[in-house]
């Protein structure tokens, strides 16, 4: 996925400034697709040049002018095409798994410290996702937006479940290393 398609998705809901787009990312998809302000502005400029967006400049006397971006017909067509096209298979890269794979070169204490750190970070992510889940459910939209709300909640559910599985795996690995039982799990 590209940042371009995420921006098109947000602007398909309503016109936004670059600042408001950053807030939209942070308040909805940050748990699986973060974007920084400079990436957003750079991509907005490129998309405007490509004709995917239209830009309106609102002059303000005491502050910088505000730029509001709207999706164009070409942008809607690009978004629809991307949404209906299966994604190519992605390489799955997990730096932690490389560390674990070569972890035999570490002492048990070093390996345990690494895994405990990752478990703590995972617990913290789970706490954030759980808070987002509760807050989002408390502010559920009207019934006419139920389908879109359901789909957005599916992405959050993915984040919750994948981190729960990771935490379970980490805790199991910690227990085995602490006990000195190095027996592979059978499935």
CATH number at residue 67: 1.10.10.10
Cα separation, 154 vs 123, whole angstroms: 20
Cα separation, 72 vs 78, whole angstroms: 10
The pLDDT confidence band at residue 170, using thresholds 50, 70 and 90, is very high
Cα separation, 154 vs 169, whole angstroms: 22
Q: Please, are residues 38 and 61 in contact by the beta-carbon 8 Å criterion?
A: no
Question: Please, which residues bridge with residue 58 across strands?
Answer: 66
Residue 10 belongs to a domain: yes
Token pair listed for 163: 């981190």
Residue 90 belongs to a domain: no
Q: Are residues 130 and 157 in the same domain?
A: yes
Structural domain total, the chain = 2
Average pLDDT value for residue range 66-85: 96
Q: Are residues 49 and 115 in the same domain?
A: no
Q: Please, are residues 45 and 115 in contact by the beta-carbon 8 Å criterion?
A: no
Q: Are residues 22 and 79 in the same domain?
A: yes
Q: Are residues 80 and 7 in the same domain?
A: yes
Specify the pLDDT at position 1: 55
Q: Which residues does 145 contact at the CB level (< 8 Å), separation at least 6?
A: none
Cα separation, 89 vs 116, whole angstroms: 31
Residue 187 belongs to a domain: no
Specify the pLDDT at position 71: 98
Q: How far out from the chain centre does Cα 31 lie?
A: 4
Cα separation, 25 vs 31, whole angstroms: 9
Domain containing 150 equals 95-179
Average pLDDT value for residue range 47-65: 92
Q: Are residues 99 and 161 in the same domain?
A: yes
């Amino acid at each position: 996925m590209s940042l371009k398609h995420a921006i098109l998705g947000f602007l398909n809901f309503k016109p936004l400034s670059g600042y408001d787009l950053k807030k939209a990312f942070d308040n909805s998809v940050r748990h699986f697709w973060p974007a920084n302000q400079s990436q957003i502005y750079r991509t907005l400029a490129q998309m405007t040049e490509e004709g995917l967006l239209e830009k309106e400049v609102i002059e303000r006397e005491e502050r910088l002018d505000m730029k509001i971006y709207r999706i164009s017909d070409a942008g809607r067509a690009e978004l629809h095409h991307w949404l209906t096209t299966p994604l190519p298979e992605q390489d799955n890269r997990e730096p932690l798994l490389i560390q674990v794979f070569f972890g035999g070169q570490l002492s048990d204490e070093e390996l345990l410290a690494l895994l405990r750190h990752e478990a703590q970070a995972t617990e913290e992510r789970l706490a954030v996702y759980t808070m987002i889940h509760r807050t989002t459910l408390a502010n559920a939209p009207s019934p006419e937006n139920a389908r879109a709300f359901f789909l957005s909640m599916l992405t959050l559910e993915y984040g919750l479940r994948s981190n729960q599985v990771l935490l379970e795996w980490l805790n199991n690995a910690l227990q085995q290393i602490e006990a000195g039982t190095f027996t592979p799990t059978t499935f």
